[in-house]
């Protein structure tokens, strides 16, 4: 390949990063600075200029989508596919390592990945066996504890001290849970990374092989790595590899799930001679937006430091709107969207961001009222749908009979008269003899441990069904295998025979799954030592570990949390709820320090999603979690430079013309300022107390409970109420 072609489309900083001599270096890449292009061109440089072997390169990303994009770009740049390069997420690459060395990793050949939902269900069953009340013991906290310890590289035996009796119970559950997973051949997401790390740590011949093979390691989004991921890279690199990391400490926003921005600093210390290259030219946002982002993030003390800049013009000022309440805020956003449409722009270019999902409710209500299409990004993932999870569980059980989570999900789906008594008996034998549920069922049938011939017959029927499906589908293509399983298990008939709309949509989802299986069969390059079905299931389950909802609506405004927006860009961005206690969150205000700095980084991420127009909103009061609250405007607003912003007040109509001269701001009247809990008097109905308030301006309605126990809705403008 012509070197000119590799470097011509890059700016000076990017060219430096792509063409640097082989060595350890950090690419400190600001938002919108073209880091993916740099990574792809760096790999091409290693192949074409440095003459490195394809097999010597490993590129690690954080999402399957990013991996696919990187491989597609590389294949297009190089002209031919580069199949021998390992490009994938930490989880998918760990899975690949474990598949190749399952014996040394202490795993069965047909081990399966346990998704987060099944992890919860398994722990729920174990808690029940230990007579722990699920109302008293939070399963989510226990799952979080186990995952956190694994991310720290800690097994139950490594936890030698504990802070409370609660933690002692958690450690005990961790041990039991891990024992069950090991017996069942199940590996959860955190276990994938820990088990792969332990494989490299404990098996010197395997470690030496991969250290000598992967002499070029590239890692994207390094600021999001946790402890075990850092150790994973560290041990894999050894003394031979040259490691390039790409990251932005100003965009480290996942501390709550173990990410450590300080890993960038650790890299500089641990990898001798590491050089820092800064990518500061932004290709996304206009200058006002970048000036605001630079000023905001400068308030953080813990950062390496960089200054984003662009050749773009200043652009529109950032709009800051002060709303009366959450309804006023939502209506303002919707009117701005209507103005955007009138200018001939697409809704798909817009996003509404918020700190917590509960804020989406009012926005949805007003969007529906005004018939504006929207896409909510906290819906159910395709592979998390009930019907798909049922089918996946049958497939998992065919691959691995000892998969307790899959067994328990489908033993009675569809209903096959296997009752609670039978299930309790299976679980008890499993617990007493430390065997899997499948082994327990076989033992019960062998020993005649069930009361009544019918119960034994139903259980035996299920065992025979799974064994028969394994035998008759083994040689079939993946899509035909899936169809046969759907048919013979009764799953297809269960939904087909029901007439509700939801059940018909489930049939459509199952049909789509068959299509996916067919496409996978025709395009997948299998991992060694694994079957196509095992690879298919593992890729799906790794995908399910990511937040990766696809947007199929062509023109709809997007609604998502600030965390979900990372890596995306939009022409127009709204960030709502910019108030102290909401954003920054109350928890960060209470704890201060690094917590508050992470909230500021989150604001920085939200601001730098905007390409052309950015609007920040805050409300004088809002109703959250059933209570009316009043917060001060977010400190992040005050940290923006005055020359970058334009403030819009809820009672100054003239400023609304900044967005659209033809739209009038709603009529505001002093009589509309009623609040819940106020004592009022009506000329006809007498004295009462306000118990609810909705709407604003002419549309504002109040609900009053009068002392005569009469409850009435009244329009605030016409109610003729006096405050007591």
pLDDT digits (tens, 9 = 90+) for 334-363: 999 999 999 989 999 999 999 988 888 789
Q: pLDDT for 543-588, tens place per residue? A: 766 543 333 445 899 999 999 998 899 999 999 999 999 999 988 9
Please give the average per-residue pLDDT across 201-211, as a whole number: 96
Q: Is 29 annotated as a binding residue?
A: yes
Query: Do 333 and 399 fall into the same domain?
Result: no
Residue 107 lies in a domain: no
Compute the C-alpha angle 264/268/274, nearest 5°.
125
pTM, entire model: 0.74
**pLDDT value at 642 more than 90:** yes
What average pLDDT does this structure show over 366-382?
A: 78
Instruction: Give the model's pLDDT for residue 13.
Output: 94
Residues 128 and 246 in one domain: no
Same domain, 299 and 428: no
348 is in an annotated binding site: no
Binning pLDDT at 50, 70 and 90, where does residue 64 land? confident
Determine whether 601 is an active site residue: no
- Matching residue, tokens 């959860």: 188
User: Is 663 a member of any domain?
Assistant: no
Domain-embedded: residue 87: yes
- Shared domain check, 81 and 206: yes
Q: What is the CATH number of the domain that holds 711?
A: 2.40.10.170
The answer to whether the annotation marks 716 as part of a ligand binding site is no
Residue 664 belongs to some domain of the structure: no
pLDDT of 380 strictly over 60: no
One of 13, 215, 225, 251 is an active-site residue; which one? 251
**Residues 157 and 205 placed together within one structural domain of the fold:** no
The answer to whether residue 577 sits within a structural domain is yes
Is 653 annotated as catalytic? no
Q: Mean pLDDT, to the nearest integer, of 715-721?
A: 69
Let me know how long the chain is. 724
Average pLDDT in the chain: 86
217 and 245, same domain (yes or no): yes
Question: According to the model, what pLDDT value does residue 687 have?
Answer: 85
Rounded CA-CA distance 480/718 in Å is: 68
399-434 pLDDT, tens digit each: 999 999 999 999 999 988 888 888 889 998 998 899
Choose, from 13, 14, 35, 479, the residue flagged as catalytic: 35
State pLDDT tens for residues 261-318: 788 989 999 998 999 999 999 999 999 999 999 999 999 988 888 899 998 888 999 9
588 is in an annotated binding site: no
Residue 609 designated active-site = yes
338 dihedral zone (left: phi>0; alpha: psi -120 to 50; beta)? alpha
252 among the known binding-site residues? no
Output the CA angle 182-183-184, nearest 5 degrees. 90
Tell me the C-alpha to C-alpha distance, in Å, between residue 723 and each of 300, 620, 685, 692, 708: 46, 20, 14, 15, 18
Question: Is 30 known to sit in a ligand binding site?
Answer: yes
In a domain, 665, yes or no: no
Kindly name the residue from 115, 221, 349, 535 that is annotated as catalytic.
221
Q: What is the mean pLDDT of residues 702-712?
A: 73
- Residue 524 sits in the same domain as residue 436: yes
What is the Cα Rg of the chain in Å?
29
Is 209 within 8 Å of 241 (Cβ atoms)? no
Do residues 523 and 563 share a domain? no
Catalytic residue among 36, 178, 338, 703: 36
Per-residue pLDDT band at 108 (split at 50, 70, 90): very high
d(CA 300, CA 283): 24
Between 690 and 392, residue with greater pLDDT: 392
pLDDT > 60? residue 699 = no
Q: How far is CA 97 from the centre of its chain?
A: 24
Identify whether residues 471 and 442 lie together within a single domain. yes
pLDDT of residue 660: 35
| pLDDT category of residue 659 using cuts at 50, 70 and 90 | very low
Say how far apart CA 240 and CA 433 lie, in whole Å.
48
| Domain range for 253 | 3-102+193-281
Residue 175 labelled as part of a binding site: no
Residue that is last in its domain, among 608, 628, 658: 658
Answer with the one of 614, 638, 658 that is the final residue of a domain. 658
251 catalytic per annotation: yes
Residue 532 — very low, low, confident or very high, per pLDDT cuts 50/70/90? confident
Q: Is 64 marked as binding a ligand? A: no
In-domain check, residue 423:
yes
Look up 622 and say whether it is catalytic. Answer: no
CA dist list (Å): 127 to 130, 189, 384: 5, 21, 24
Give the closest residue to 19 by CA, choosing from 8, 34, 30, 31: 8
Same domain, 89 and 200: yes
91 — phi, psi (to 5°)?
-70, -45
Q: Are residues 512 and 408 in the same domain?
A: yes
Number of domains, the chain: 5
Taking the CA atoms of residue 405, residue 406, residue 409 and residue 410 in that order, the dihedral angle to the nearest 10 degrees is -160
Residue with the two structure tokens 């890993």: 263
**pLDDT given for residue 667 in this prediction:** 32
* CATH number of residue 471's parent domain: 1.10.486.10
Do 233 and 306 have their domain in common?
A: no
Contacts of 461 (CB under 8 A, 6+ apart): 416
Give the domain CATH number at 206: 3.40.50.300
581 belongs to a structural domain? yes
Catalytic residue among 188, 191, 220, 329: 220
End-of-domain residue from the set 519, 544, 569:
544
């Amino acid at each position: 390949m012509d070197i000119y072609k590799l470097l011509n489309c890059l700016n000076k900083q990017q060219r430096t990063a792509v063409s640097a001599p082989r060595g350890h270096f950090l690419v400190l890449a600001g938002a919108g600075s073209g880091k993916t292009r740099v990574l792809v061109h760096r790999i091409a440089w290693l192949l074409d200029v440095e003459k490195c072997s394809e097999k010597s390169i490993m590129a690690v990303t954080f999402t399957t989508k990013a991996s696919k994009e990187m491989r597609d770009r590389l294949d297009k740049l190089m002209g031919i596919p580069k199949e021998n390069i390992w490009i994938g997420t930490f989880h998918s690459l760990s899975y690949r390592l474990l598949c190749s060395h399952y014996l040394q990793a202490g795993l069965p050949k047909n081990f399966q990945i346990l998704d987060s939902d099944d992890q919860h269900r398994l722990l729920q069953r174990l808690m029940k066996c230990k007579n722990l009340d699920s109302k008293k013991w939070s399963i989510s906290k226990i799952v979080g504890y186990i995952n956190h310890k694994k991310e720290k590289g800690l097994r139950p035996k490594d936890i030698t001290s504990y802070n409370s009796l609660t933690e002692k119970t958690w450690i005990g559950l961790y041990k039991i849970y891990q024992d069950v997973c090991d017996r069942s051949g199940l590996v959860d997401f955190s276990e994938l990374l820990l088990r792969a790390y332990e494989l490299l740590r404990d098996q010197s011949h395997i470690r030496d092989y991969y250290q000598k093979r992967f002499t070029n390691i590239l890692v994207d989004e390094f600021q999001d790595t946790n402890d075990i991921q850092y150790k994973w890279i560290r041990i894999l690199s050894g003394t031979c590899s040259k490691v390039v990391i790409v990251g932005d400490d100003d965009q480290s926003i996942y501390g709550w799930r173990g990410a450590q921005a300080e890993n960038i600093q650790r890299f500089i210390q641990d990898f001798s001679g590491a050089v820092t290259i800064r990518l500061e030219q932004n290709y996304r946002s206009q200058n006002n937006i970048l000036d605001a982002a630079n000023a905001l993030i400068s308030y953080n003390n813990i950062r390496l430091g960089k200054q984003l800049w662009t050749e773009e013009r200043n652009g529109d000022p950032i709009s800051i709107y002060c709303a009366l309440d959450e309804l006023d805020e939502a209506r303002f956003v919707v009117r701005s969207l209507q103005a955007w449409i009138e200018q001939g722009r697409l809704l798909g270019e817009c996003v509404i961001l918020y700190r917590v999902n509960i804020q989406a409710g009012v926005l949805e209500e007003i969007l529906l009222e005004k018939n504006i299409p929207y896409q909510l990004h906290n819906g159910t993932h395709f592979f998390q749908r009930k019907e798909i999870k049922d089918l996946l569980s049958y497939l998992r059980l065919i691959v691995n009979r000892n998969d307790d989570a899959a067994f328990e999900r489908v033993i009675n789906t569809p209903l096959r008269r296997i009752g609670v008594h039978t299930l309790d008996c299976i679980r008890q034998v499993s617990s007493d003899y430390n065997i899997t549920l499948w082994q327990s069922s076989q033992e019960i049938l062998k020993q005649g441990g069930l009361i009544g011939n019918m119960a034994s017959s139903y259980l035996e029927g299920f065992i025979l069904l799974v064994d028969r499906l394994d035998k008759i589908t083994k040689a079939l293509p993946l899509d035909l295998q899936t169809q046969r399983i759907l048919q013979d298990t009764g799953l297809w008939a269960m939904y087909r025979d029901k007439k509700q709309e939801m059940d018909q949509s489930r049939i459509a989802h199952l049909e789509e799954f068959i299509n996916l299986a067919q496409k996978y069969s025709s395009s997948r390059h299998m991992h060694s030592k694994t079957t196509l079905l095992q690879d298919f299931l593992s890729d799906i389950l790794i995908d399910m570990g990511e937040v990766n909802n696809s947007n199929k609506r062509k023109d709809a405004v997007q609604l998502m949390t600030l965390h979900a927006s990372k890596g995306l860009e939009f022409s127009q961005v709204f960030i709502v709820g910019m108030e102290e206690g909401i954003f920054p969150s109350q928890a960060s205000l209470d704890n201060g320090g690094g917590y508050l700095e992470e909230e500021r980084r989150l604001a920085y991420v939200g601001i730098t999603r905007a390409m052309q127009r950015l609007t920040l909103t805050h409300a004088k009061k809002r109703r959250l979690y059933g209570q009316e609250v009043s917060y001060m405007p977010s400190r992040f607003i005050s940290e923006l430079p005055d020359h970058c912003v334009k403030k819009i007040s809820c009672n100054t109509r003239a400023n609304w013309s900044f967005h659209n001269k033809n739209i009038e701001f709603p009529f505001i009247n002093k009589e509309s300022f009623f609040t819940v809990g106020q004592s009022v008097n009506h000329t006809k109905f007498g004295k009462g107390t306000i118990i609810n308030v909705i709407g604003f301006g002419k549309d504002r309605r109040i609900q009053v409970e009068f002392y005569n126990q009469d409850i009435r809705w009244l329009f605030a403008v016409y109610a003729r109420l006096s405050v007591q």
